[in-house]
Structure 1
């Protein structure tokens, strides 16, 4: 998330200069992709004896967000405790009950992604839902944060899995 902020949203010809600037500032390789203005979901997947188990889905909502600001879960929203972004980027569960068709589509995409990328143990797949209602994969994270206050642990708790059990399942899945 380092370097991910409002300034990352650029128009057309600005993209090459911005990626070059980011590479110089932070190192590594950078790329530009289309910004999808829409709802965002984080979906944890945990390896189970029977295969990948999709955990309860979290929609990331942007409460009291200024209209002119892009809705992105950037560095400040994740790590700057006490900041506006941190306090107003809210994780909400319940899409499975409220929108079962959307939930079914996300579950299907998670399972297909898990298989296609040969994921193991645990992962988080982030989605954006575009204006036409089409789910798009934003990121596949094969090693998401698993701190007790992280989204993956929150999804596990919603599934009735204690933090200790969640960590145990991840460790067991990693054993030969």
Structure 2
């Protein structure tokens, strides 16, 4: 089975349940295990795991109750507020970046009202956004690094991949964010990003394909934003863009994923 399921009835948490059905049926399938999918969807847990392994992610705090919003003293504005158990930029908009306590309270409460889940609040890293794709299982390879070019956004807009930027064709956010591959990076920075991406791939237990999203600060320090064990691999998505730069057609990329899954099942 080529597993492309990301949710069931709009419930992202059920993504891992579908993979669990394949496991119960003892049916070979592509991609990550139920455990890895579940871990990756718990963004605070991923950040804790990466921090334990010495990998930098933005400082963060989880708010579990809308009436108890007390930010850590060492958290510096601006902050970005996200749902803690969603992917695909769900719940992220230009208003997600907040600059004071009143804006923070408003956005955290919005997350509870709209998504009925804790809010993840991170320090907002000003800098470049980079995507690092990994392909394979037994001998995975890191593909060329892709960058999100925000130059098409208006000056007032935050340089983030919002839900509109990812999915809403025709919006300023969508038209103003373009993927560029390969990203122009110093060789040592590129090597560092690829090494961290491979470490993340293994820590979270990814298989066959995955993508690690980074912010590269103005000082050149990489921060992991997310590890996605089930990224969009359609032919116009970032993963396929990196694969093409590596020298693979879309059909060859899909074939590599299938071969990796078959090799694992034998």
Asked if TM exceeds 0.5, the reply is: yes
Distance 1:118 1:57 in 2: 21
Q: Equivalent residue for 2:251? A: 164
Aligned: 1:4 with 2:92: yes
What runs of 5+ residues in structure 1 fail to find an aligned partner?
none
Provide the alpha-carbon RMSD of the alignment. Answer: 1.8
Which of 118, 121, 124 is the equivalent residue of 2:211?
Answer: 124
What's the offset of the Cα at 1:156?
A: 0.9
**Aligned-pair CA distance for 1:157:** 1.1
CA distance in 1, matches of 2:114, 2:94: 16
Shift of 1:18: 1.9
| Contact 2:94–2:157 (Cα < 8 Å) also in 1 | yes
Runs of 4+ in 1 over 6 A off after TM superposition: none
Q: Deviations along 1:69-123, whole A, 9 cap, x unmatched?
A: 2100111111111222111101112336x52121111111111112222221110
Equivalent of 1:84 in 143, 162, 172: 172
Shift of 1:48: 5.1
Decide which of 105, 108, 124 is 1:19's aligned counterpart. 108
Measure the CA separation in 2 of the matches of 1:16 and 1:165. 48
C-alpha displacement of 1:167: 1.3
Q: How many residue pairs align between the two structures?
A: 174
Please identify the structure whose Cα radius of gyration is greater.
2
Cα deviation, 1:39-66, whole Å, max 9, x if unaligned, reads 01011111155x2211111111112433
| Superposed displacement of residue 147, structure 1 | 1.2
Distance (Å, rounded) in 2 between the aligned partners of 1:100 and 1:168? 30
Whether contact under 8 Å (1:40, 1:60) holds in the other structure is yes
Tell me the secondary structure at the aligned position of residue 31 of structure 1: strand
Give 1:95's aligned residue: 183
> How many Å apart are 1:139 and its aligned residue?
0.8
Alpha-carbon contact 1:52-1:114 (below 8 Å) kept: no
